[in-house]
Amino acid sequence: MDGEQTTQPEETPLSLSGRRALVVVPAYNEADAIGRTVRDLRRHAPWADVLVVNDGSVDDTGEAARAAGAKVVDLPVNLGIGGAVQTGYRYAYENDYDLAFQFDGDGQHRARLLQELARPILADEADMVVGSRFLKPRGMTARGSRRVGITILAAAVSLVTGLRITDPTSGFRGGGRRVIQLFAQTYPQDYPEPESLVLVHKQGLRLMEVPATMRRRRGGVSSISTLRGVHYMAKVLLAVLMEALKAPVQIEEELA
Amino acid sequence: MMNWTQRIVLLALALSMLGLTLELIRRRRLREEYAVLWVCTGIMILVFVVMPNLLFILSGWLQLDRTVLMTFVCFLFLAAIVMHYSVVISKHSEREKHLAQELALLRDELEKLRAEMREAPPMPAAPKPRPPALRT
């Protein structure tokens, strides 16, 4: 479903060597866009299973996702993005997936780039990989107030973790088994994208950003409007700092 | 200094507060866990009604006007109650989230089993046991 033709450098095909990958697509009232997103994933990332977490939608999101060939888990109530994504990690944990990725239902993420997230994890160079819109060479720029907000937030997360983080709000990310287990057990609820970076780093897991372009949104609107931007920023910064202060999570022994 | 009428009225109020708390527990409409604060509140009021001099002594020690002291104590108490509720609400939303997730995953599991049963009705291979639910 990817209309454009960009010249991609020839890459070695992704080798999972027997490991299983799951793409978690949280969706709340995305009936219009979810089918295209799922077909996009099945076409450009056929090496991964697709799980749509239907977060208590009141429209036909679940049916549309099933019709497009995704596995679907229906939450009985709307839990919000954090709870929905965590459901996906729980599914990955219980069904013994080795890699799990997050992918937006509204079509802004590129399925073809999923393998760029997978490579460092498969090569055991990172436990969690985030696709950043602002890393060179593909770097793009957000406009106006959003750019300022992301810069401040990136600075805060970088400060707290001591890593160079350029795109803390990116929901295009994935992790290996240790991240799956951590997130299945504990996942932030309020502003999960930046908060989970701090959480992962605190647990001693390796975090990496790779460049990733994104599309303009197909349907739906950003959950962050410019008007509420300042209020949002204050709350996210507070949440990130609180996350840094929280006690580390005791990971339960994995059952062999 | 309080006169006797005032003391009797306040005593009645304090006792009915305690009585109400106990009655709610008895009718199982209030769990003991959450009643502790209310019992404490009732006892506190009772203490001040029976020994109003306590208030004078306290305000003397702290060099605070009695009204200021009482307002401050009331505020602290209400703040403590609200804080307690916030903790309880947080705990419950975490549980509610966990339950919703378990429910969704179990329903998915059930659908899978049903599909397997439809495909191979006699003696399906024993399915792999599901890992125990995570404690959160």
Chain A residues closer than 8 Å to B131 by CB? 93-94, 255
Q: What pLDDT digit, counting tens, does each position of A121-161 carry?
A: 999 999 999 999 988 765 566 666 677 888 889 999 999 99
Residue A219 has a pLDDT of 46
Q: How confident is the model at residue B125 (pLDDT cuts 50, 70, 90)?
A: low
Chain B residues closer than 8 Å to A185 by CB? 134, 136
**Spans of all domains in chain B:** 1-51, 65-118
Is A164 within a domain? yes
- In terms of DSSP bridges, do strands A21-27 and A99-102 run parallel, antiparallel, or are they unpaired? parallel
Residue B79 pLDDT greater than 70, yes or no:
yes
Is A254 within a domain? no
Q: Is B134 in the A-facing interface, judged by CB distances under 8 Å?
A: yes
Kindly state the tokens that stand for B49: 């009604």
Q: Is B31 in the A-facing interface, judged by CB distances under 8 Å?
A: no
Of residues A37 and B64, more confidently modeled: A37
Is A145 within a domain? yes
**Closest chain B C-alpha to A120 CA, distance in angstroms:** 28
Name the residue range of residue A128's domain. Answer: 21-245
Q: How confident is the model at residue B30 (pLDDT cuts 50, 70, 90)?
A: confident
Residue A141 has a pLDDT of 61
Helix and strand numbers, DSSP H then E, in chain A: 8, 7
Number of separate domains in chain A: 1
Cβ atoms of residues A206 and A127 within 8 Å: yes
**Quick one: DSSP state of residue B126?**
P
Q: What pLDDT digit, counting tens, does each position of A163-186 carry?
A: 999 999 999 999 999 999 999 999
Is A250 within a domain? no
> Which residues, 6+ apart, have CB-to-CB distance to A102 below 8 Å?
A23, A24, A25, A26, A85, A88, A171, A172, A173, A174
Percent of chain A with pLDDT over 70: 85
Chosen for mutation from B89, B90, B94, B108 (greatest number of chain A CBs closer than 10 Å) is: B108
Q: Is B117 in the A-facing interface, judged by CB distances under 8 Å?
A: no
How much is the pTM? Answer: 0.79
Report the CATH number at residue A67: 3.90.550.10
Q: What's the ipTM?
A: 0.74
For the segment B95-101, the average pLDDT, to the nearest whole number, is 94
Residue A66 pLDDT greater than 90, yes or no:
yes
Interfacial B residues in 94-113 facing A (CB < 8 Å): 96-97, 100-101, 103-105, 107-108
In terms of C-beta distances under 8 Å and separation of at least 24 residues, what long-range contacts does A13-20 make, across chains too? Answer: A14/A47, A14/A115, A14/A118, A14/A119, A14/A122, A15/A122, A16/A47, A16/A98, A16/A99, A16/A118, A16/A122, A17/A122, A19/A98, A19/A99, A19/A122, A20/A49, A20/A96, A20/A97, A20/A98, A20/A99
Residue A80 has a pLDDT of 92
Q: Which region among A39-48, A83-92, B109-118 has the lowest average model confidence (pLDDT)?
A: B109-118
Is A65 within a domain? yes
Residue A142 has a pLDDT of 61
Is A8 within a domain? no
Percent of chain B with pLDDT over 70: 90
Q: Looking at this protein, which amino acid is placed at residue B60?
A: G
Task: List phi, psi (to 5°) of B27.
Answer: -85, 5
Residue B2 has a pLDDT of 66
* Distance (Å, whole) CA A131 – CA A213: 8
**Quick one: DSSP state of residue A150?**
H
Residue A113 has a pLDDT of 94
For the segment A233-245, the average pLDDT, to the nearest whole number, is 86
Is A2 within a domain? no
Cβ atoms of residues A27 and A65 within 8 Å: yes
For the segment A186-209, the average pLDDT, to the nearest whole number, is 93
Is A48 within a domain? yes
For the segment A20-41, the average pLDDT, to the nearest whole number, is 95
Q: Which region among A40-44, A218-222, B19-23, B89-93 has the lowest average model confidence (pLDDT)?
A: A218-222
For the segment B60-82, the average pLDDT, to the nearest whole number, is 87
Cβ atoms of residues A118 and A41 within 8 Å: no
